[in-house]
Amino acid sequence: MLTLGIEGTAHTVGVGIVDENANVLANELEMYRPPEGGIHPREAANHHAERVTPVIRKALEAAGVSIRDIGLVSFSRGPGLGPCLRTVATAARSLSMSLNVPLLGVNHCIAHLEIGIASTGCDDPVLLYASGGNTQVIALAEGRYRIFGETLDIGIGNMFDKLGRELGLGYYAGPAIERLALESDRYHELPYSVKGMDVAFSGIMTAAVALRRKGVPLPDICHSVQETCFAMLTEVTERAMAHIGKDQLLLGGGVVQNKRLREMARMMAEERGAEIFVPEPKLCIDNGAMIAWTGKVMHDAGIRSGIDGSRVDQRFRTDEVEVTWRRSAGIG
Ligand code: FE2
Asked if the structure places residue 303 within a domain, the reply is yes
Could you list the pLDDT tens digit for every one of the 332 residues in the chain? Answer: 999 999 999 999 999 999 999 999 999 999 998 877 778 999 999 999 999 999 999 999 999 999 999 999 999 999 999 999 999 999 999 999 999 999 999 999 999 999 999 999 999 999 999 999 999 999 999 999 999 999 999 999 999 999 999 999 987 899 999 999 999 999 999 999 999 999 999 999 999 999 999 999 999 999 999 999 999 999 999 999 999 999 999 999 999 999 999 999 999 999 999 999 999 999 999 999 999 999 999 999 999 988 878 999 999 999 999 999 987 666 65
The answer to whether the Cα torsion of 319, 282, 70, 87 is positive or negative is positive
CA of 283 to the centre of ligand 1 (A): 10
Same domain? For 150 and 265 the reply is: yes
Q: Give the domain CATH number at 19.
A: 3.30.420.40
Last residue of one domain, picked from the residues 281, 302, 317: 281
CA of 131 to the centre of ligand 1 (A): 6
Residue 93, number of CB atoms within 10 A of its CB:
17
CA of 102 to the centre of ligand 1 (A): 24
CA of 290 to the centre of ligand 1 (A): 10
CA of 20 to the centre of ligand 1 (A): 23
Asked if the structure places residue 312 within a domain, the reply is yes
CA of 215 to the centre of ligand 1 (A): 35
Same domain? For 41 and 144 the reply is: no
Q: From CA 79, how far away is CA 316, in angstroms rounded?
A: 5
CA of 188 to the centre of ligand 1 (A): 30
CA of 185 to the centre of ligand 1 (A): 30
3-state helix, strand, coil in the chain (%, to 5): 50, 20, 30
Q: Count structural domains, the chain.
A: 2
pLDDT of residue 307: 83
- Cis geometry, peptide bond prior to residue 175 (ω within 30 degrees of 0): no
Same domain? For 178 and 60 the reply is: no
Specify the pTM: 0.95
Asked if the structure places residue 299 within a domain, the reply is yes
Asked if the structure places residue 237 within a domain, the reply is yes
Same domain? For 27 and 101 the reply is: yes
Asked if the structure places residue 322 within a domain, the reply is yes
- Helix/strand/coil (H/E/C) assignment for every residue in 87-147: HHHHHHHHHHHHHCCCEEEEEHHHHHHHHHHHHHCCCCCEEEEECCCCEEEEEEECCEEEE
CA of 113 to the centre of ligand 1 (A): 10
Same domain? For 234 and 96 the reply is: no
Look up the domain containing 13 and give its range.
Answer: 2-113+283-328
Same domain? For 160 and 267 the reply is: yes
Last residue of one domain, picked from the residues 281, 297, 315: 281
Same domain? For 59 and 154 the reply is: no
Asked if the structure places residue 118 within a domain, the reply is no
Single-letter amino acid, residue 220: D
CA of 328 to the centre of ligand 1 (A): 26
CA of 291 to the centre of ligand 1 (A): 10
Same domain? For 54 and 74 the reply is: yes
Same domain? For 246 and 194 the reply is: yes
Same domain? For 108 and 127 the reply is: no
Same domain? For 127 and 266 the reply is: yes
Last residue of one domain, picked from the residues 281, 298, 319: 281
CA of 217 to the centre of ligand 1 (A): 32
CA of 179 to the centre of ligand 1 (A): 23
Same domain? For 274 and 131 the reply is: yes
